[in-house]
């Protein structure tokens, strides 16, 4: 129970079904370690935890707060910062779901005698009648669907997860909360990275928290000043570290040019940011690493899929080739049409052609494969 309306209604619905429900909130990040009160979190604050407790009281269930700040720091925040310093643009919500909410939290839930973890995610789980395996499907409210962030869940985790809101519209959820007298029924949704304070970007956050995270910026690639160039290497400007930049970024480059320029590549080892015109942003082949496959077996081979390279990116048809490298699945996506601003560190998520609401899996975009055979970052 994060303090938001979705997780509170999820608890409410499970209780109404007759389940024995225990409300649990995770204390993940302290925005006020220096005691000044100058930084305001976007969600998961102490006020949010208080709201979750009030909602639990109204529902009539016990409520506990678990201090998971150390786990959150090691499994989510530090990898987030390290990935930025390596020139990628990570999605912390994916690792938070996979490694914390449905891994560490599930272990703690079982220590409380609970059989499953229910959350306020908008997604559905069904059983495949032929294999008996769980199938992850999009929520009925496609505007709220969160399966993009859940593609990393394992089959074992899916068996122990409940998504009570998957068949509801957001308007129905708010109305249920209002009728039940929950204090957060009208609370706005949080859509930003929870541990980056309001008014800050990832770059500012990493600079400020580097010591706390054990990162020595001057000695790390990605934190050194360098050049902003075009693809041919002509110097157009300078930067103070590549990690605040993201592929596709247009604003904040500090460059004067006769046309709009966008970040095309980030090269930490060269302390270089490569920019170019909008027409240079498009790629047709995308490499994917650490693939989690939820589709029919065998995973290795060629699959025709619909794929999404960002949360709000429209799905496009592609050919997915998967192969096993030691203990991990690697992949290569070739889209029918070029896609814009392929960003290393983001997730590529695969959906079924025959069943458009079925999630087949996903992985992390690792590089860009160009028509001439060269590789991006």
Domain positions in the chain? 5-180, 224-276, 282-369
Q: Which CATH number fits domain 224-276: 2.40.320, 2.30.30, 2.60.40, 1.20.58?
A: 2.30.30
So what's the pLDDT on residue 57?
Answer: 98
pLDDT at 35: 64
Q: Residue 373: its pLDDT value, please? A: 41
93 labelled catalytic: no
Q: How confident is the model at residue 374, as a pLDDT?
A: 41
Per-residue pLDDT of the chain (377 residues; tens, 9 = 90+): 999 999 999 999 999 999 999 999 998 887 766 666 656 665 667 788 999 999 999 999 999 999 999 999 999 999 999 998 888 998 998 988 888 888 888 888 888 889 999 999 999 999 998 889 999 999 999 999 999 999 999 999 999 999 999 999 999 999 999 999 999 999 888 767 888 887 788 888 888 888 889 888 777 778 889 999 999 999 999 999 898 899 999 998 989 888 899 999 999 989 999 999 999 999 999 999 999 999 988 899 999 999 999 998 999 999 999 999 988 999 999 999 999 999 999 999 999 999 999 999 999 998 654 444 444 43
d(CA 376, CA 359): 27
Do 5-180 and 224-276 share a fold?
no
H or E element that contains 316: strand 316-325
Cis peptide before 119 (omega within 30 of 0): no
For the question of residue 96 being annotated catalytic, the response is: yes
Using CB atoms within 10 Å of the CB of residue 297, give its burial: 0 to 12 exposed, 13 to 18 middle, 19+ buried: exposed
Residue 352: predicted pLDDT? 97
Q: What is 282-369's CATH superfamily?
A: Translation factors (2.40.30.10)
- Active-site residue, selected from the candidate residues 93, 114, 194, 282: 194
Q: Domain 5-180: which topology? A: Rossmann fold (3.40.50)
84: which residues sit within 8 A by CB, 6+ positions away? 90, 202, 203, 206, 222, 243, 244, 345
Among the listed residues 184, 189, 147, 224, the one whose alpha carbon sits nearest the alpha carbon of residue 50: 184
Residues 359 and 147 sit within 8 Å (Cβ to Cβ): yes
- SS3 percent helix, strand, coil of the chain, rounded to 5, is 25, 30, 45
Catalytic residue among 44, 96, 114, 282: 96
pTM given for the model: 0.89
pLDDT of amino acid 356:
95
- DSSP-assigned letter for residue 9: H
Report whether 119 contacts 161 (CB < 8 A): yes
């Amino acid at each position: 129970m994060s303090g938001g309306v979705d997780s509170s209604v999820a608890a409410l619905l499970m209780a109404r079904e007759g389940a024995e429900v225990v409300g649990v909130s995770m204390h993940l990040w302290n925005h006020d370690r220096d005691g000044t009160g100058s930084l305001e979190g976007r969600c998961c604050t102490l006020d949010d935890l208080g709201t979750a407790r009030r909602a639990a009281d109204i529902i009539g269930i016990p409520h506990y707060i678990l201090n998971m700040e150390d786990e959150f720091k090691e499994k989510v925040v530090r990898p987030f910062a390290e990935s930025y310093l390596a020139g990628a643009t990570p999605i912390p919500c994916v690792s938070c779901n996979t490694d914390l909410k449905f891994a560490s939290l599930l272990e703690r839930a079982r220590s409380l005698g609970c059989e499953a973890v229910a959350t306020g995610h908008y997604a559905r789980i069904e059983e495949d009648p032929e294999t008996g395996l769980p199938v992850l499907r999009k929520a009925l409210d496609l505007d709220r669907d969160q399966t993009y962030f859940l593609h990393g869940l394992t089959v074992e985790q899916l068996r122990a997860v409940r998504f009570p809101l998957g068949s509801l519209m957001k308007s129905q959820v708010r109305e249920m909360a209002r009728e039940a007298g929950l204090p957060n029924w009208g609370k706005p949704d949080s859509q930003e990275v929870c541990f980056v304070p309001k008014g800050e970007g990832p770059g500012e956050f990493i600079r400020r928290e580097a010591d706390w995270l054990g990162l020595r910026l001057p000695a790390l690639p990605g934190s050194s000043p360098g050049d902003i160039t075009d693809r041919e290497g002509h110097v157009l400007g300078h930067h103070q570290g590549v990690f605040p930049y993201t592929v596709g970024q247009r604003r904040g480059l500090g460059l004067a040019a006769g046309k709009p320029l966008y970040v095309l590549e980030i090269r930490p080892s060269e302390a270089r940011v490569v920019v170019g015109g909008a027409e240079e942003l498009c790629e047709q082949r995308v490499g994917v690493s650490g693939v989690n496959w939820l589709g029919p077996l065998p995973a290795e081979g060629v699959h025709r899929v619909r794929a999404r390279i960002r949360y709000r990116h429209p799905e496009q048809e592609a050919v997915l080739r998967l192969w096993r490298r030691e203990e991990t699945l690697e992949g290569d996506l070739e889209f029918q049409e070029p896609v814009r601003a392929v960003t290393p560190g983001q997730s590529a998520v695969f959906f079924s052609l025959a069943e458009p609401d079925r999630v087949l899996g996903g992985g992390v975009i690792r590089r860009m494969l160009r028509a001439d055979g060269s590789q991006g970052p």
